[in-house]
């Protein structure tokens, strides 16, 4: 019986490790940014940064400045919008602040130097009557060279 329990635990660990397809950048208290590649979706929590491959681009998720998204279990007239503030810095240039929206009626992407930065998603999804802790947000970004 203990052998089958150990085998079941191993299967769960292996299955859980393959669940995420997007890299989640490291601990927000880490002093250095983590590297990702262009054309690869990646996730950031507030205060986290990513270095884009060997490129001189650093992208930092600052905060969600507004969130009026419609909860999935509520019928809304408008889908709403979440606004993510990011900063981007190329090489030794000072960082520039950008706001990206989830609603396609607004800017869901921005061009920064030779890079296009697109907001793919904002998590967690809204719930009716429940405020989201600002530290709980996670954004998914995609950086490409057009």
The answer on pLDDT for 2 being more than 60 is no
What CATH number does the domain containing 57 carry? Answer: 2.60.98
In a domain, 108, yes or no: yes
Residue 17 corresponds to which tokens in the numbers above? 């490790």
62 or 15: which leads in pLDDT? 62
Instruction: Establish whether the linkage from the previous residue to 90 is cis, with ω within 30° of 0.
Output: no
Residue 53 corresponds to which tokens in the numbers above? 């491959």
pLDDT of 71:
92
pTM: 0.77
Number of domains in the chain: 1
Structural domain for 74, as ranges = 22-144
In a domain, 16, yes or no: no
In a domain, 12, yes or no: no
């Amino acid at each position: 019986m203990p052998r089958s329990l150990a085998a079941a635990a191993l299967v769960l660990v292996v299955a859980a490790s393959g669940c995420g397809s997007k890299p989640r950048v490291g601990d927000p208290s880490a002093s250095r940014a983590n590297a990702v590649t262009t054309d690869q979706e990646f996730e950031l929590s507030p205060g986290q940064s990513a270095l884009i491959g060997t490129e001189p681009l650093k992208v930092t998720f600052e905060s969600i400045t507004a969130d009026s998204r419609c909860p999935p279990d509520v019928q809304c007239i408008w889908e709403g919008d979440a606004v993510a503030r990011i900063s981007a810095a190329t090489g030794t240039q000072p960082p520039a602040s950008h706001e990206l929206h989830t609603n396609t009626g607004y800017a869901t992407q921005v061009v920064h130097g030779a890079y296009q930065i697109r907001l793919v998603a904002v998590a967690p999804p809204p719930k009716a009557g429940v405020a989201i802790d600002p530290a709980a947000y996670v954004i998914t970004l995609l950086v490409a060279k057009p």
